[in-house]
Amino acid sequence: MYIAAALFGFQPLPQALQQPLLNVMPGPVFGFLIDTLQHAGKVLEEFGIIVGLVVLAGLAGVAWVRFSGRGADAGADDAGEPADTGRRRFLTLGVGGVSLAVLGVRLIPGWAQAILHPAEAGLAGAQTSELTPVGHFYVVSKNFVDPAIDEASWRLRVDGRVSTPMTLDYAALKRLPPTTEVVTLECISNDVGGNLISTGSFTGVSLRELLRMAGAAAGATAVNFSANDGYTETLPLAVVNASPEILVAYELDGAPLGGTHGFPARILIPGRYGMKGPKWLERISVSDTAVGGYWEGEGWDMNAVVRTTSRIDVPTNGSFVRLSGAEIAGVAFAGKRGISAVELSFDGGRSWSNADLQAPLSPFTWTLWRKLWNPTSEGSYTVVVRARDGAGAVQASSTSGSFPAGSSGYHSIQVTVGR
């Protein structure tokens, strides 16, 4: 199946079975696996499906031998001569060896990359920059294999309850009045202190203006999105009309979106988790009925508004810090609400002190913060961070996993202070 996929573009059965498997998996179980395994979860899913198919095929073979009467002739070939067990063993091991080799070449490099070297991992252990290099911009996808879309044949349909349905090719989309915004995107499955969060400069067309061009009906209530990989999402039309910053984005940091980031176009919604913005976009439909989102169908929150979060980047957990002083630095993010304060505690939360904030690049990005810390004595310390949004509301202290509405809790690290 994987050879056929490489040669003829067929979809291997493990990929076809992915969505049915997710459909029957209880949401809390799925959320637990994502929180626990992160990128490894998808690898384990594909590996598990492959193993399951091999086991089922083996059981089917055993059943066929048992019930077809072939078992009585296992020691002889079709002509009644004694079977050449050595040849059978050679063929079995040969076919099995080739199969394992194909799977190894086809899948293992990608699996290793996903688990050991995801894009965002390259920035660990350093102070976060205002803009994330595209090569390290986090990538999360539901797919085992993401779409590879041909620019020349791609079309974006804008239809439904509109007076002027539109079909745009890539060049026509780029001819529309562009908007460039610096936006922080965060995955809803990002753990407390996790690195599934990045900031980039996106260029695209305001979704509100695009729908005005198409003449969206005043009585319509929903805007539904469909993507090449079967992904769906929806937004209330009232939200789109009140949010000119929502983009049909086609560039990231001045270059076309990469394939993993949704080329040719994706929806970008500042202040919402990344799950609300379909990549590889193909259709925008105005309707009276919300189609529902892909992940909402698995039990995740339909609004997916970003929760206030903060993270310590340096020093890293387990570091040695000199008594003479050290700089503590990191990021804080609250979506469109902004950040008004970042506070640190070195005594288990009994007291808090303010960090210095760097002005964000836009109302839609994270805030970088830093603080010079002068410990009073040697020993082991737990450093805890929390943030307040633009209205002064402190981030939630209670610890929870990402399912169903995003993780919460304070990020902390352990450091040892010495001379």
pLDDT of 80 over the 80 cut? no
Burial track 354-382 (b if 16+ CB lie within 10 A, e otherwise): ebebeebbebbbbbbbbbebebeeeeebe
SS3 state at 105: helix
User: Which residue, 151, 96, 197, 158, is CA-closest to 402?
Assistant: 197
Q: Return the pLDDT at 84.
A: 66
Answer for the pair 2, 47: CB distance below 8 angstroms, yes or no: no
pLDDT of 355 over the 60 cut? yes
Q: Do the strands 326-333 and 367-373 form a parallel or antiparallel pair, or are they unpaired?
A: antiparallel
pLDDT of 254 over the 80 cut? yes
Q: pLDDT band for position 99 (50/70/90)?
A: confident
Give the residue range(s) of CATH 2.60.40.650 domains in the chain: 309-418
Task: Concatenate the DSSP letters of all residues of 31-75 into one string.
Answer: HHHHHHHTTHHHHHHHHHHHHHHHHHHHHHHHHHHHHHSGGGGTT
Lowest mean pLDDT among 64-68, 121-125, 230-234, 344-348: 121-125
The listed range with the strongest mean pLDDT (86-100, 121-135, 256-270) is: 256-270
pLDDT of 256 over the 60 cut? yes
Rounded Cα–Cα distance for residues 336 and 183 (Å): 10
Lowest mean pLDDT among 79-83, 164-168, 205-209: 79-83
Q: Return the pLDDT at 416.
A: 95
User: Which residue, 138, 146, 136, 113, is CA-closest to 262?
Assistant: 146
Q: pLDDT band for position 261 (50/70/90)?
A: very high
Q: pLDDT band for position 236 (50/70/90)?
A: very high
Answer for the pair 210, 284: CB distance below 8 angstroms, yes or no: yes
The listed range with the strongest mean pLDDT (15-29, 118-132, 296-310) is: 296-310
Torsional sign, CA 33, 34, 38, 43: positive
Burial track 213-249 (b if 16+ CB lie within 10 A, e otherwise): ebebbeebebbbbbbbbebbbbbebeebeebebbbbb
pLDDT average, residue stretch 369-392: 96
3-state secondary structure 2-39: HHHHHHHCCCCHHHHCHHHHHHHCCHHHHHHHHHHHCC
Non-local CB neighbours of 251 within 8 Å, separated by 6+ positions: 202, 203, 204, 257
Instruction: Please identify, in words, the CATH class of the domain defined by 309-418.
Output: mainly beta
Rounded Cα–Cα distance for residues 15 and 143 (Å): 8
Q: Which helix (H) or strand (E) holds 107?
A: helix 85-116
pLDDT average, residue stretch 324-328: 92
Tokens in use for 148? Answer: 């590879």
Rounded Cα–Cα distance for residues 264 and 149 (Å): 7
Query: With pLDDT > 90 as the criterion, what percentage of the chain qualifies?
Result: 64
Tokens in use for 26? Answer: 């209880």
pLDDT digits (tens, 9 = 90+) for 1-54: 888 877 887 788 888 887 788 778 777 777 777 777 777 877 888 888 888 888
CA angle 224, 266, 20 (to 5 degrees): 65
Q: Which helix (H) or strand (E) holds 332?
A: strand 326-333
Give the residue range(s) of CATH 3.90.420.10 domains in the chain: 134-298
In the numeric block, the tokens 């044949």 are attached to: 153
pLDDT of 83 over the 80 cut? no
Lowest mean pLDDT among 120-124, 159-163, 248-252: 120-124
| pTM across the whole model | 0.85
Q: Do the strands 166-168 and 156-160 form a parallel or antiparallel pair, or are they unpaired?
A: antiparallel
> How high does pLDDT run on average in the chain?
90
Q: Which residue has the higher pLDDT, 100 or 166?
A: 166
* H-assigned helices in 192-319: 207-214, 237-241
Beta bridge partners of 223: 235, 286
Q: Return the pLDDT at 101.
A: 82
SS3 state at 104: helix
At the topology level, CATH places domain 134-298 in: Sulfite Oxidase; Chain A, domain 2 (3.90.420)
Q: pLDDT band for position 79 (50/70/90)?
A: low
Q: Return the pLDDT at 287.
A: 97
Q: Which residue has the higher pLDDT, 36 or 347?
A: 347
Q: Do the strands 356-357 and 353-354 form a parallel or antiparallel pair, or are they unpaired?
A: unpaired
Q: Return the pLDDT at 73.
A: 54
Q: Return the pLDDT at 82.
A: 59
Tokens in use for 140? Answer: 């999360």
Q: Return the pLDDT at 171.
A: 98
Q: Which residue has the higher pLDDT, 159 or 65?
A: 159
pLDDT average, residue stretch 169-188: 97
Non-local CB neighbours of 237 within 8 Å, separated by 6+ positions: 211, 216, 220, 221, 222, 223, 286
pLDDT of 139 over the 60 cut? yes
Q: Return the pLDDT at 104.
A: 79
